[in-house]
Structure 1
Amino acid sequence: MADSEEAAKAFEIADATPADAEAVLAVKDQAWREAYAHLLPAEYLAGPMDGGPERTERWRGYLTPDGARRFALVHRGGRVVGFAGAGPALDEDCPAPLQLYTAYVLAEMYGTGAAHAVVERVLGEQPALLWVFEDNPRARAFYAKLGFVPDGARQLAEFRGRFVSEIRMVREPPPPR
């Protein structure tokens, strides 16, 4: 690989802190615009997607280390270009003790290994579950590479009057070595 190609793929993974909330939200909004234009209303994607000014404070709370949740960032060229977060499973019928709450990288990072590295940072090899939009073949294929399989559970998420189907995917523990 040429040096310029190697440099283009270089990234670092670091634990997130409350001070990273604005950068995380900027990545989340851009990643949603890049990945979900076919699923969500344009007016929803045009602005801050999950609330008003209080959302930064809410995310500062999410990113505060509490021993149960873990968030990590992807850095490239001095800026945040991805993130992931995991913690205790939220489902009532918990098929796994850990849940991947969120995982996004910007389109410029597709194929670099950054998404895999940041998810690995927050999950390790532990059994886990996640929810993903059913009509999101790229994400579903990515999660399948990480060992996640659909378990048959479905739910609907509403975004300004549009309902989008989500499926649950579960990863079993790796076999003993």
Structure 2
Amino acid sequence: MTRVLDLRPATPADAAGIGPCHLACWQETYAGLLSPAFFAGRSPERFAANWAQLLADPATAPVTVASADGEVVGFAQVVPSRDTPPVREEELVSLYLRAAHHGSGLGQALLDAVLDDRPASLWVAEQNARARRFYERNGFSADGAREVDESWEGLAQVRLVR
């Protein structure tokens, strides 16, 4: 079966697809790191509503979506650094891809679309070895910064820079 893959800028109409994709990516990515209770109160509809609000705001930094056969399977976004003081001008705040598409090249295509080879920072779950290897292959390395997010059940994140 030939799949039609697409990478393009998100529009407000994409919120209905990005929302469920976002939650599913969280569930796949953080399943071994966060409890089922963490996800229990979250719904695809609420995620879609949040994305609708975000994408309707003209001040929102561009979001790129990846789709397969018309279904949103990933997304990525770069914003001005949120770190104080900033270690890089830009920060990759999201790059999520459904697990079924890992290794397909879509993750790399998303990263290239939103950041190319520019310097940037990002935060990644300390125990997310797959994501850390991906970013390391793309020139990122840990700079020693680490945060523990209590609202995420004490999940530790490390900052990567290039």
Residue 75, structure 1, aligned to residue 75, structure 2: no
Q: Is the 8 A contact 1:39 1:164 kept in 2?
A: yes
Secondary structure of 1:156's counterpart equals strand
Letter paired with 1:34: E
Q: Is the 8 A contact 1:74 1:83 kept in 2?
A: yes
Q: Is the 8 A contact 2:20 2:48 kept in 1?
A: no
Instruction: State the 1:66 CA deviation.
Output: 4.3
Q: What's the Cα RMSD here?
A: 2.2
Residue of structure 2 equivalent to 1:87: 79
Q: Is the 8 A contact 1:68 1:88 kept in 2?
A: no
Residue 16, structure 1, aligned to residue 10, structure 2: yes
* Structure-2 separation of matches of 1:116 and 1:130: 15
- Segments of 4+ in structure 1 off by > 3 A? 55-58, 64-68
Q: Is the 8 A contact 1:157 1:165 kept in 2?
A: yes
Secondary structure of 2:109's counterpart equals helix
Residue 116, structure 1, aligned to residue 108, structure 2: yes
* Structure-2 separation of matches of 1:12 and 1:41: 33
* Higher Rg of the two aligned structures: 1
Residue of structure 2 equivalent to 1:174: none
Residue 39, structure 1, aligned to residue 30, structure 2: no
Letter paired with 2:160: M
Call closer, same or farther: CA 1:167–1:49 in 2, change over 3 Å. Answer: farther
Q: Is the 8 A contact 1:27 1:106 kept in 2?
A: yes
* Structure-2 separation of matches of 1:98 and 1:49: 30
Gaps of 5+ in 2: none
Call closer, same or farther: CA 1:68–1:18 in 2, change over 3 Å. Answer: closer
Of the candidates 96, 99, 105, which is equivalent to residue 107 of structure 1? 99
Gaps of 5+ in 1: 172-177
Secondary structure of 2:150's counterpart equals strand
Q: Is the 8 A contact 2:18 2:48 kept in 1?
A: no
Of the candidates 155, 161, 165, which is equivalent to residue 156 of structure 2? 165
Q: Is the 8 A contact 2:148 2:156 kept in 1?
A: yes
* TM-score of the pair, normalised by structure 2: 0.89
* Structure-1 separation of matches of 2:60 and 2:25: 26
* Corresponding residue pairs, total: 162
* TM-score of the pair, normalised by structure 1: 0.82
Using the aligned pairs only, state the percent identity: 33
Call closer, same or farther: CA 1:65–1:16 in 2, change over 3 Å. Answer: farther
* Structure-2 separation of matches of 1:105 and 1:31: 6
* Structure-1 separation of matches of 2:84 and 2:8: 31
Instruction: State the 1:125 CA deviation.
Output: 1.6
* Structure-2 separation of matches of 1:49 and 1:141: 30
